[in-house]
Amino acid sequence: GQQLNQSPQSMFIQEGEDVSMNCTSSSIFNTWLWYKQDPGEGPVLLIALYKAGELTSNGRLTAQFGITRKDSFLNISASIPSDVGIYFCATKGAQKLVFGQGTRLTINP
Amino acid sequence: GAVVSQHPSWVICKSGTSVKIECRSLDFQATTMFWYRQFPKQSLMLMATSNEGSKATYEQGVEKDKFLINHASLTLSTLTVTSAHPEDSSFYICSARDPPIRPLHFGNGTRLTVT
């Protein structure tokens, strides 16, 4: 089946640092989504990308849809404690979403 | 904005009993809802697609007789875990799409613990 390779699996950073994570696939997709999941809660949509090359920001978050349509990255600038959580990339295969393995972000104050 | 509500948020049950989890779209109609399962430190795995007025579509390896899905209205889908076993303990999350807004909106999940 379709697989998304998300990296890194985990990150331990200092508050204020910038964060970068990415997602790659062997297949071409028309949509890339980035979600954040806090402990014990469902994922919340951060950014949706629909066009190759598209660069979209949401506050301190910036995501890009790779020009090859096989990858995407998410950047977080000037991290703060509430950025802690698990970040998932996702793409649409047929009617359903396929998720990456997630990037667990831990921030040291 | 669109909201998906899931209930209960957590449940503890004994082995052999059945548990029902509800997923509601609060301010939109959802002809399709999705049920995911998430084990600790793992990603979300799609279990089944719930279709209003018709049978659910189950992913490979998911037992349809064990995980009963009913999507009787445009705003409610239910997942019933029948004859629960400890290995069914997991975090179950539903989602729905609000046309024409394309991304999925997720419920807050249900933590099921089977003792």
* pLDDT tens digit sequence for A69-83: 999 999 999 999 999
Rounded Cα distance between B78 and B71, Å, is: 6
Q: What is the pLDDT of residue B53?
A: 85
> Is the previous residue joined to B100 through a cis bond, with omega within 30 degrees of 0?
yes
Q: What is the pLDDT of residue B48?
A: 95
Rounded Cα distance between A35 and A93, Å, is: 16
> Do B81 and B19 contact (CB within 8 A), yes or no?
yes
Q: What is the pLDDT of residue A3?
A: 79
Rounded Cα distance between A29 and B91, Å, is: 28
Residue B64 to chain A, least CA–CA distance (Å): 18
Local confidence band at A60 (pLDDT 50, 70, 90 cut-offs): very high
Find all residues with CB under 8 Å of B91, minimum gap 6, and list them.
A40, B37, B38, B39, B109, B110, B111, B112
Q: Which two tokens stand for residue A48?
A: 């949706």
Cβ of residue A99 closer than 8 Å to a chain B Cβ: yes
Question: What is the average pLDDT value for chain A, to the nearest integer?
Answer: 93
Q: What is the pLDDT of residue B1?
A: 56
Which helix (H) or strand (E) element contains residue B100?
none
Local confidence band at A94 (pLDDT 50, 70, 90 cut-offs): low
> Do A103 and A7 contact (CB within 8 A), yes or no?
yes
Cβ of residue B34 closer than 8 Å to a chain A Cβ: yes
Query: Quick one: average pLDDT of A38-46?
Result: 92
Ramachandran region of residue A98, left (φ > 0), alpha (ψ -120 to 50) or beta? beta
Cβ of residue A95 closer than 8 Å to a chain B Cβ: yes
Rounded Cα distance between A74 and A63, Å, is: 4
**pLDDT < 70 regions, chain B:** 1-2, 99-102
Percent above pLDDT 90 for chain A: 84
Has residue A92 got a pLDDT over 90?
no
Residues 57-86 of B with CB under 8 A from A: none
Beta strand B32-38 pairing with B90-97 = antiparallel
Q: What is the pLDDT of residue B70?
A: 92
Q: What is the pLDDT of residue B30?
A: 87
The separation between CA B16 and the C-alpha centre of its own chain, rounded to angstroms, equals: 19
